[in-house]
Chains A and B, each alone.
Chain A
Amino acid sequence: MRKLYHFHGGIHPPSNKTQSTRTAIAHAPLPTKLIVPLHQHAGEAAKPVVQAGDHVLKGQLIGMPEGFVSSAVHAPTSGTIAAVDMQLIAHPSGLPNLCATLIPDGKDEWAALKPVDYRNHSSAELQHLLRMAGVVGLGGAAFPSDIKLRIGKQKINTLILNGAECEPYITCDDMLMRERAAEIVQGAEMLRSMLDADEVLIGVEDNKPEAVAALQQAITANGMNQEVVAIPTIYPGGGAKQLIRVITGLEVPSGKLPTDIGVQCFNVATAYTVYRALAHGEPLLSRVITIAGNVRHAQNYEALIGTPIAELVALSEALPDTDRYIMGGPMMGIPLPSVHVPAVKATNCIIAASAKIFPPSPPAMPCIRCTRCVEVCPADLQPQDLYWFAQSREFGRAQAFSLFDCIECGACSYVCPSHIPLVQFYRFAKSEIRAREHDKQLADQARVRHEYHEQRIEREKRERADKLAAREKTAQAAKLASAPPLTPQQQAEQAGLEAGRAHIRELAQSEVGHSDEGVTK
């Protein structure tokens, strides 16, 4: 039995997971249309490589990754691209973003797939394959997996697979581990080989005994050298830093990455996707999504990326008093701007919410500095101070109090007796700080450009003056050098011409009645 450690704080919200684990993962039927956003991952958006009217096959590339942190986007089924335009997506802003709308032809016809044996390829080649297969972290942040595999010279001792799934209601990873454990452990082996890690530990919360058993069986059946670690159920035990702490006892320092302490962490569903992408050549086209909350039968569905959420919710029959939908869990999820937005790679769960299951929060009261938030903070922060600095817009001090170590888990808001929406304040402060840093960058850029501009103006002025001076000099020299002595006849001719010109000028001047001054001019 492995020795386990604790992270600071944590809470025990009602898990509400049993409702959606009674039935196996169902395949969601082909939707009437698919709206595939081109920016589903952390980093830069993919560049569309299809146009309206194009016919695409299932798995065909429709978005080319652009920039270092980016990932590919594919057609989830065969059909016709109806439009590439701005559509409402699942984003807290409620703003639209670039999406490709695909009308399925119903044939579900695959493009040519190229499975590879990961043992015959270098890590760099496999990273490129994963990038082009659109593999991103499926735990919620959707960070491109190939970047996490790019570790440079760092030595990774431990690869941790995150199957903790600590948020209430969400069971998509649980069901995936129960039903597709063999693929997960094979994907983990591929990740291990790419990272050249010594050991593989799969962390699963102990409220999922079926998943633990299935994984153990898969490890034995495949003869893998991996270990399933059942960890205590406590929210947010599935946070990467918290999970690393519990399993290894190591703490990721503030501002550092897990790789800096020799650990790398992937979600179990990501490992599954890596296996599908390499062993079958299938890009990331679908994922398991939990539909739960105020629905007649909560269940997990394997749905194509881009499926309108309304069509998924209809499968589970949302009850009539549903007033809104949440993507993600009740602790960290975001309210959806519309039920017609598409499911994306980061969509792990859709909760139909009603006033009955999530009663509106009572009005916020002043902070009484009871420090209950400090007791539960899994990142060892001082949430009451951070709140104070954020609400008074003292962003510098908030940063000095390690605001960016906050994982926005919502444990502080959950226990706050004054019902202060603490996490919203932290999000506000973080985005203000990021915006300021961005402005600062632009200002520095403008300063440099202005300095160059001034230098250029100065240089051009100097060059023009130099050129003029040089030209005058040569003209003078030429005049002196090239003027040959004139013959008396020529001199007489020239004098005659000059006299004629002077006479004409005189006549012209007298006609318009100008003064004599102009005549000689």
Chain B
Amino acid sequence: MAAIAIVLGAVLGFAAIKFHTEGNPLVDKIDAVLPQTQCGQCSYPGCKPYATAIAAGEADINRCPPGGEEGIQKLADLLGVEFKPFGSDTAAPKPKSVAFIDESTCIGCTLCIQACPVDAIAGAAKQMHTIIAAECTGCELCIAPCPVDCISMRVIEEKINNWKWKYPLHNLTAVETAGAAR
């Protein structure tokens, strides 16, 4: 008996070290579903804090407009809860956009650079700034700080390389049976 206890205790002790996980795995799973826009529209200061709040049961799953309804569905599937439509206090999902700096108006104040959560703006003090479009998440956080309103959001255009096949339009039409119409 004692031998078994010692062996099992050793196994448990070993397992505790071997399978030790850093942080909360649920937070990481939720964070993986979120779109990583880091826009703060959920009222949390980024995707990870929102994921932490969801995991702690403090936040609803319908607070992420960039994720869209599909994002809510994914969170619902992940957490085993019911789908919940967007509430009236969250912004409506918008088409994906990237920020654009009107370089002739930019005064080089670096306020937008400080606001960008993913360091997607290149520039220096009193030098013109520009958006690295490939890295921009479209969070709109750079728009408010700009003192000269030179930043605007541009919807990502459909081009050959991001074009998608559309949902086939085939309406199910009622077929007239012989004699029914006449």
Contacts and interface: CB of A to CB of B under 8 A. Distances in A.
B153 to A, nearest CB: 16
Interface stretch (B16-24, B52-60, B80-88, B155-163): B155-163
A439 B35 CA distance: 8
A364 B170 CA distance: 6
Interface in B77-116: 116
A459 to B, nearest CB: 13
B41 interface: no
B46 A366 contact: no
B117 A428 contact: no
A347 B104 CA distance: 45
Interface in B131-151: 135, 137
B36 A453 contact: no
Contact of B120 (A97, A424, A449): A449
B166 interface: yes
A378 B173 CA distance: 30
B36 A365 contact: no
A95 B36 contact: no
Nearest to A426: B165
A426 to B, nearest CB: 9
Contacts of B172: 363-366
B94 to A, nearest CB: 15
A446 B160 contact: no
Given A95-B159, A450-B118, A424 B165 contact: yes
A453 to B, nearest CB: 5
Residue of A93, A365, A424, A443 most packed against chain B (CB within 10 A): A443
Describe A's contact surface by its main secondary structure. Answer: helix
B166 A450 contact: no
Given A97-B160, A435-B162, A453-B117, A446 B37 contact: yes
A420 interface: yes
B164 interface: yes
A428 B175 contact: no
A430 B167 CA distance: 11
B177 interface: no
A16 interface: no
Contact of A449 (B34, B135, B164, B170): B135
B173 A449 contact: no
A363 B119 contact: no
A37 B118 CA distance: 35
A92 B175 CA distance: 30
A439 B70 CA distance: 13
Contacts of B171: 363-364
A388 to B, nearest CB: 14
B42 interface: no
A95 B162 CA distance: 11
Contacts of B130: none
Contacts of B167: 428
Interface string A413-451: 000000011001101101110010011001111110110
30 contacts: A39-B160, A91-B163, A93-B163, A363-B171, A363-B172, A364-B170, A364-B171, A365-B172, A366-B172, A421-B170, A428-B166, A428-B168, A431-B163, A435-B164, A438-B162, A442-B36, A442-B137, A443-B34, A443-B35, A445-B135, A446-B37, A446-B38, A446-B135, A446-B137, A447-B31, A447-B36, A447-B47, A449-B118, A453-B118, A456-B119
The 3 closest A-B pairs by CB, nearest first: A424-B168, A446-B36, A443-B36
